[in-house]
Every structure is written in structure tokens, then in C-alpha cells.
Structure 1
Amino acid sequence: MIDVLVIGGGYVGLSVAVAVKQAAPHLSVEVYEAAPEDAWKRDNRASAIIAAASRLLTVLGAWADIAPEAEPIRRMVVTDSRVGDPVRPVFLTFDGDVQEGQPFAHMVPNVAMVGALRSVAERLGVPVHHRMTASGFVNEGASMRVTRSDGEDVRTRLLVACDGVRSKLRDMAGIKTVRWDYGQSGIVTTVEHERPHEGTAEEHFLPAGPFATLPLKGNRSSLVWTERTEDANRLVESDDLIFEDELERRFGQKLGRLKVVGDKRAFPLGLTLARDFVAPRFALAGDAAHGIHPISGQGLNLGFKDVAALAETIVEADRLGLDIGALNVLERYQAWRRFDTFRMGVTTDVLNRLFSNDIGPIRIARDFGLGLVERMPKLKSYFIGEAAGVAAKGNPRLLNGESI
């Protein structure tokens, strides 16, 4: 019998496994990952990790390995313009510290983050089984009988699905979703530039969607470039000369000459929200529970918030002698996370619709709103705290940098 079986060996799945095992070493925890063993080493992307998530990773013992590769975001700049505008006015700026010496976010290469979490899992004795997933499962009351992809059956007290936004396990559990497609795709790549970025992240609101540049170590930046899906596919398939020419029109020349140094990939964008996060002996976490627009940079961080809430729910229930897979136990996790997730999903949906257009009156209204926030330091500080995940009351302990 496995106490907690996690399906999905990305950062969310590994973090759930590590958090539970660290706080309750007597519980047996295993991870099934469908990809080959070294597949994670080929991920060239980077992610924005908010302050609350870095606190969680510190408690889990992973941040010390991540930190040398992490680049702090020291300043955020927001503009609103058209691609061909000769001047790109700045409407809003945020200083990047939630408190002295602690940036509100870092940019972290995905390979560094997953590698650090895998090292911690190994130290704690959490096995990660590769080329393995669940092909089916049946709730048998006292346990869940899970049929593995190799045909063998195992039993677990709790099955945690971290298998992505198109989660097959979510569908098997009969959990419905709210979903729609934006008709946009996010182009993700890495560029080198001649001059240093000085830790500045920029979000340019353009008619086709936001164009974000995020600082990496050295004179490099990560791009999340939103375009209409047909245009995004065309750009990714074009040669580097055409791509870099279109890129320079959006990026500008403030950092000198640009060169693409990472793979160019386009990911379709949509909103996916699970109607329920739990069922008897079953829980969703990460993208399996929610997929949102990257306009706020909060997608991955919502997953880390899930990790903190789910791990605390499991561990505290175990300490009280309760059944960790019982629905009334898991409903605490759902209550903790569902409203916040729906709120963020609605917020990103509204922001995307508000800024991904070139309608004159709407542009005037949104630019007035950005300028108003720029002139209100207390409101800016509040937004920074919210974005960093440190302002919320009732946060799970891991997000406050405390052990469970």
C-alpha cells in the first residue's frame, strides 16, 4: 500500500511528494512520470518564481541548489503601445522587493528547478518511476486501486494528479472543467543582448497580446511573446533572420543587438479551470487543476500554492489520525485553493481581453488606470505583495517560509 501516489514528475508533482515526505517521513510516497528519465534535462524554458514560492522551495531544501541559477527581478516596467509606435511610453513601474533584500520574484531555468527537486526527492527516499503513469483507477473504499501503464495494479490511500492541463486522470475521475480558447499562442524562447538588463522585466501590451521580457543570468532574457495563433505558428516556423527582425520591432534596441539562443516554441493559450479539485481519494494540483493566461506570470506559482495547501492538509490530517484520502479531509484543500484559483483565472481573462486589442476608448481608459496606479504608492505596494504571494492572510505555512 502506497500512502500518497503522485502522477506527474514535474516541479508541482515533485514538490508535493517532497513536502509530504519531509514533514511526515513515515508516509510512503511515490512519483510516476510518463517521460523518459532524462527528458527534463532538455527543457530550455525558464519560469518566474514569486517570493512565496521561493520560500516554499527554501523550506523543502531545494532553493540552495536553485539560487546560483536564479536571476532576481528587481524592477517591472509596463507599457501600452502599438508595434510601430516610435515612442513606447511607460505607464507603470514596480520596484522588485517585497522587503529589503527579497525580490518579489526570480527567473529560474526549469532544468535547475526540477533538478534540485529531484535531488531532494532522492535524499528523502522518494522513488520516481519513469515511463510510468496510471491507465485507470477504481475507488475501493479504504484505498484506490490504480492500474499502472505496465498493467500492474497498486493500491494507494491518496492519488494526486499533476499530469498537466490536459489531464487524463482528471477526465477519468469525471471532473468537469470550464474551458475556452483565446485564439492566441505564447512564443517562448531565450535571447542574448549586448547590454545588461539590470534585473528589469518588461511587459509590453500590444494589440495582439502581451510581450514580456524577463531577465536571466548574464546578458540574456526569456521571452513570452503572445500572438494570434496563426501568426505565432508562422513566426516559429520562419528562419532566424525573419524571426529576429519581428522580435526587434517588439523588443526595441535599448539592450543592443539581439540573438535568439533558445528553441522557439509556441504554446496555445486558453483558460481551463476544474470545477472540483478533489474526489474521494483523489486530488488535482498544478495545471491539472487550472491553466491560465501567462499575462500575470502566475500559472506556475498557482501550482506551488496548491503544493503548500495540499501538503499541509495531508500532513495535518495524518497527525490527527484521520484518513488522508477521505473526502471531508480533502475538501479543506479544495476550500483553500478553489476561490483563489478562480479569482486569478477571471483576473487574467479580463486583463487579456482588456489589453489584447486596439480599440481607442478602451486604450484610453486602461492607460488612465495604469497611470493612476503609478501615482498611488500604497496601492502599488499592495499589488506587489499580492503578486509575490506574501500579502494573503491564511497562507499555508510553506508559503510563509515555515515548516509544516
Structure 2
Amino acid sequence: MDYDVIIAGGGLNGLTLALALDSAGITTVVIDTFAPQESLSPKFDGRSYALSAASQKMLDALGLWEDLVRHAEPMLEIKVSDGAAGETPSPFVMQFGDEDFSQGPMGFMVEDRHLRARLAEAVKASNVTLRSGQTITNQTIHSTHVTVTIDGHRPITAAVLVGADGRNSRTAKTAGLTRTGWNYNQSSLVCAISHEKPHHGIAHQYFMPSGPLAILPLTQNRSGIVWTEQRHVAQNIHSLSDGDYLDILRPRFGDFLGEISLAGSRYIYPLSLSTTHRMIAPRVALVGDAAHAVHPIAGQGLNSGFKDVAALAEVLCDTKRRGQDLGIHTTLAEYQKWRGFDNALLCTATNSFNRIFSNNNPLLRGIRDLGMGLINAAPKLRKNFVATAAGAAGDPPRLLRGEPL
């Protein structure tokens, strides 16, 4: 075979998996449809990620964090409240801080441009083969290997094909892995803002009637915004001038950070739930959005993908050390067992949270406010909540514990 593993998709999950496998001596090729200049730009485009403490540990274990830390802003406190534009926030809040998570910051905010660039640099310095600007046109499963055909190039073979090619994964469709899901009739408006006052590392999540508004701390008196509205409303807001856009944001945002201005470009993303019924097929495994794309209400999209990466890398590494075929059913079934339930639970939780909180029903508002107040008054519940969000609950893979493969 040409490689041990072929990865379809050179996004954040695909490149991170390739580096994890390379660290364990597993030969890997990444086939990415996009040319490098399409995804790598030093200009800030407004996109950023809330990395959990476990995701940060994995990046550290892979030797990536040392160069990323100067671009990362720790989340030292999280405040969650219910409210509406122009209204005083509900007095019932959930507030999480040092007393709820003793292992350091609960997470870190990192801009897309820095994370993507660091992964690209690491891949370039590794033994991973990266084939950019190429598209897999066919995949064929054999009893002992998988063959993929790349337009204009000779076929290549490997023991396993991993789909890291997003929610419209061609890998999943060709493997017969069916999806379920629905649209939320919501879109997220994503941008970054500069503000007068320091945020002190505090992340805010406001549950508005139309959808959540997240204000996430970035470096240098800036914050990332993920602002959810009904789809037609979001599209109308997105089409406005920068000044009018900010005029609509300000009453939702409040004045607690002083005057605000845009920092970078604005984006809009339609929201939907999309998940496969299974994450594996013969000699095929899926990671990240190729397997499950969820509502951003909990900020767990990339973290969930990184959990997939860590689990799959570990089961493939252990199989390699046993001298077994990486693509045997028992290996991939172990990955499915490890990640399948957790991903189904995340899909259910984010979908339920969105339905409960994205409305202005007085009865539901009363129930959810009371629920947040009760959780906030229970230290054990708060600690369990934070441990789950930080990726420290349960039995995380070695990489998420900061241990090498």
C-alpha cells in the first residue's frame, strides 16, 4: 500500500489527525480540495474558536501549543444569562470560575488564522504528505485495503480512508453512511469587535429570544461575536453597512465594555443539525463535521471534532503497535463505540438547549431562569458542568489528557 491512512479534507480536523498519526509513525496522506492560499491568510477574518482545556492539551501534546499560546486568550470565567435586546439581564445566571475548575483556564480563544497557519507549518515540517488542490473522485473498498482515485493522478491505496471533508462529506456519501438532521431557520452572524474596556478573560453567553449571543474574549481588548437570529432577520442584518450593523448589535451587547467597533470581516452561517447514523463503514471512518455538525450554542463543534481525532488516532496507533491491519472491523468498531454515543448526546443536548432557550415564551423563560439559578447555587453541579465542557469528564483519549500517543 502507498500509505497507512488517507485523509480526505485538509481542514483543522484533517490536519490535526494527520499530525497525531505521524507522531505515532503511521504514514498518512491528506487530500485537500482547496489550494493553500484559499485557506491561509494572515489577515484577520473575524473567525475564532473556543478551545476546551482538553483540546489545548492535545495541541500541546502534538507540539503545537508553544507557538500558539501567544495568540490565545484564556477564558477565566463564563457567565450565562437570559435576556432580550434593551432589557436588563435576568438576575438568574450561571457563573463559572476558578472554584469550578482547578486545572487552569476552562478554555482558550484562538483565531482561525493562527490555528490554521500553525497546523500548516507543522504538517510541512512532518512526514505527512499533503496534496492540495486535488479532489478524490472515487473510492473503492477491497478486503485488504481501500483505493482512491484522484482526478488527473494515479490511484493511491491505504488501509483506512478517513473522511474529514465537512458536513457535505463525499467520503460519507460514497461509503453509504446516511445522515439525518434539519434546518433551524436560524443563522449565526460571526465577527470580532474591538472595545474600550478590558474583558478580563470573561466569556458571556446571553440567551436571547431569537437565539444565543456569545461574546468571547480575544487578545488585545477584542472579543469574538457569535450572534444568532432567525434566518431572514440575520440575512437582513448581514446586508447592512458596518455602522448600521453595529447599531443593531449595541442594544444586545450592552455597554459594559464601552464603545465597540468592528475588527475584521463579517460572516453569516445558516444553522442546521446534520449527523450520520454511524461514523464508520468498511475501512472508512469519519471525524468532525463529516460525522456530526451541531448548533454552536455550546461552542463545542471543533472540540467535538478534536475528540474524534484523539480517539481515532489512539485506536489506530494501538492497532499499529499490535501489528494488526489498521482497517480491520474491530479497530473501527472500537472508535465507533468510543465516540458514537458522546456525539449523539451532544447533538441531542445542543438541539434541546436551542429549542428551550431560543424563544420568548414566559413559562419557558421562568423555568429556564429558575434552572440556571439552581445550577448556579449547586457547586457540585457547576463543577460537573464545567468538567464536561472542558473535556475532562469521562474517559478522554490520551491526547486529550496531554499525553503522547
TM bin, normalised by shorter chain, reads over 0.9
Correspondence for 1:385: 387
- Corresponding residue for 1:195? 197
Q: Write the letter of the residue equivalent to 2:401.
A: N
**Quick one: structure 1 residues 191 and 318, their matched pair in 2 at CA, closer, same or farther if it must change by over 3 Å?**
same
Which residue of the partner structure matches residue 95 of structure 1?
97
- Counterpart of 1:314 in structure 2: which amino acid? L
Is residue 100–residue 382 contact of structure 2 (8 Å, CA) maintained in 1? no
The equivalent residue for 1:112 is 114
Aligned counterpart, 1:210 = 212
Does 1:184 find its partner at 2:183?
Answer: no
- Alignment-derived partner of residue 350 in structure 1: 352
CA contact (8 A) 1:77 1:90 kept: no
- Does the C-alpha gap of structure 1 residues 189 and 318 become closer, same or farther in structure 2, counting only changes over 3 Å? same
Give the gaps of 5 or more residues in structure 2. Answer: none
The residue aligned with 2:318 is: 316
Moved over 6 A (4+): none
* C-alpha distance in 2 between matches for 1:101 and 1:322: 37
Query: 1:98 touches 1:388 (CA, 8 Å); kept in 2?
Result: no
What secondary structure is seen at the aligned counterpart in 2 of 1:102?
Answer: coil
Report the alpha carbon displacement of residue 295 of structure 1 after superposing the two structures with TM: 0.5
Post-superposition shift, 1:369?
0.3
State how far apart, in whole Å, the 2-side matches of 1:380 and 1:87 are: 20
The one-character-per-residue Cα deviations of 1:159-187 (angstroms, maximum 9, x if unpaired) are 11100111121111110111111000111
Q: 2:296: which partner in 1? A: 294
Of 67-76 and 1-10, the range deviating more from structure 2: 1-10
1:208-227: CA deviations, max 9, x gaps? 00000000001100000000
Deviations 1:318-371 (A, max 9, x none): 111111012221110010000000001100000000000000111100000000
- State the alpha-carbon separation in 2 of the partners of residues 171 and 17 from structure 1: 22
Which range moved further: 252-261 or 149-158? 149-158
Aligned match of 1:34: 33
SS across alignment from 1:325: coil
Contact 2:46 2:224 in 1 (8 A): no
Partner of 1:396: 397
Q: Partner letter of residue 186 of structure 2?
A: Q
Label 1:398 to 1:98 Cα distance change in 2 as closer, same or farther (>3 A): farther
Aligned residues: 401
Instruction: Tell me the SS of whatever aligns to 2:227.
Output: strand
Whole-Å Cα distance in 2 between the matches of residues 297 and 337 of structure 1?
Answer: 18
Deviation at 1:113, TM superposition (A): 1.2
- Name the residue aligned to 1:281: 283
SS of equivalent to 1:103: coil
Task: Provide the secondary structure at the position in 1 that maps to 2:50.
Answer: strand
Q: SS of the counterpart of 1:79? A: strand
Alignment check: 8 A CA contact 1:278 1:327 kept: no
SS at match of 1:92: strand
The 1-side partners of 2:376 and 2:36 are apart by: 47
Cα pair 1:73 1:96 within 8 Å, conserved: no
Q: What residue number does 2:21 align with?
A: 20
TM-score by length of 1: 0.96
Task: Report the alpha carbon displacement of residue 100 of structure 1 after superposing the two structures with TM.
Answer: 4.4
| One-letter amino acid of the structure 2 residue matched with residue 158 of structure 1 | V
User: Deviations along 1:185-214, whole A, 9 cap, x unmatched?
Assistant: 111101111111111110000000000000
Identify if the C-alpha distance between structure 1 residues 97 and 299 changes in structure 2 by more than 3 Å, giving closer, same or farther.
Answer: farther
